[in-house]
Amino acid sequence: MRITVLAGGVGAARFLGGLKRAAPDAEITVIGNTGDDITLFGLRVCPDLDTVMYTLGGGINTEQGWGRADESFTIRAELDAYDASPDWFTLGDRDFATHILRSQLLASGQPLSAVTEVLCRRWQPGVRLLPMSDDPVETHVVLSDEAGRRTVVHFQEWWVRMRAETPAAEITAVGAAQAVPAPGVLDAIGGADLLLFPPSNPVVSIGTILAVPGIRAAVAAKTVVGVSPIIGGSPVRGMADACLAAIGVATSAAAVGAHYGPGLINGWLVDEQDKAAADDPALAGIEVRALPLYMRDLPATTAIARAAVDLALELARGQA
Ligand code: FO1
């Protein structure tokens, strides 16, 4: 069985841990969001790719959900001694090594997909990890003050420094419209038996991947099951509500399912608290199933992933 997953960071990485257990014989390809990528101190940092790679490879800081386990911060302290900015994004020493090597390989002319393959040779994540594109795409956030003055910040500055507390007037994936899917991406979608959307941010993770020309149409042609990142009106993790507000979508499992719509997804898993979504006319044409969706531990996460695969197989059979 070939399963392709569109992935953001922490939520996707945890879901994938469960998916590997739920479908141990499946060939899993992960298409990672690169809109969160940022260049800091001359180094290219790819938070979502690294979060998936470290989590599945056993190197993640499990409490934080991002960054390396057993981390030290000597380089950061030295940068602070120089008053080097930005000081709001913490990179640890072990993590720095990844960014140094990635940047060196990129500078030598290798595309991000090839560089990611090199990094994964060490981590052996047990999935094929592809960036959505080799072309640079960066998510920017437009902020507007009371006087209507607009400023634009990188997504990471809004997310990490500002904790997404200032409402976003607009969120744009700069470069997405000109980007080309990375080698293997469209084949991994077209050749998949089923596609899954983990409980990732629908705007800045899944939405950004879908913004790369060709990806949305390829996904829409397949059987897709999504897992709601919203439970009982709140994001399971992170500040997805701030992103949804920017595109005028309510923070509810039903609204996010309807935002994807029946043209894109065939099945939608919601938490038991949100089971009323099954009768919501906004979700007509989408098969909605309610089950416990908190990814508390590996057994709970495996059960969620199994439910997603089972629903996708059931829907694919119905379509055949
Ligand atoms: N998130 C934070 O809240 N603060 C940080 O200092 C921070 C550093 C960081 C370094 C490497 C990395 O791969 C991720 C990091 N993150 C940090 C997480 C990241 O900014 C976001 O959570 C994701 O980009 C959103 O998916």
Residue where the block lists tokens 């990814």: 295
Q: Is the pTM of this model over 0.95?
A: yes
- Say if residue 88 is exposed, middle or buried (CB neighbours under 10 Å; 0-12, 13-18, 19+): exposed
Does the beta carbon of 43 lie inside 6 Å of ligand 1?
A: no
Does the beta carbon of 158 lie inside 6 Å of ligand 1?
A: no
- What is the number of other CB atoms lying within 10 angstroms of the CB of residue 191? 13
Tens of pLDDT, residues 217-253: 999 999 999 999 999 999 988 889 999 999 999 999 9
- Any idea what the Cα angle at residue 228 is, between residues 279 and 168, rounded to 5°? 110
CA distance 183 to 276: 41
36: CA distance to ligand 1 center in Å? 9
Nearest CA to ligand 1 atom 12: 47
Tens of pLDDT, residues 93-148: 999 999 999 999 999 999 999 999 999 999 999 999 999 999 999 999 999 888 88
Question: What pLDDT does 320 receive?
Answer: 63
Nearest CA to ligand 1 atom 25: 9
What mean pLDDT do residues 154-165 have?
96
Question: What pLDDT does 22 receive?
Answer: 98
What mean pLDDT do residues 275-285 have?
96
- Ligand 1 pocket test: pick from 10, 75, 85, 89 the residue with the most ligand atoms within 8 Å of its Cβ: 89
Question: What pLDDT does 145 receive?
Answer: 84
Q: What is the chain's mean pLDDT, rounded?
A: 97
CA distance 253 to 273: 10
Angle of helix 298-319 relative to helix 10-22, nearest 10 degrees, comes to: 70
- The answer to whether 257 and 268 are in contact (CB under 8 A) is yes
Pairing of strands 38-40, 43-45: antiparallel
What mean pLDDT do residues 258-273 have?
98
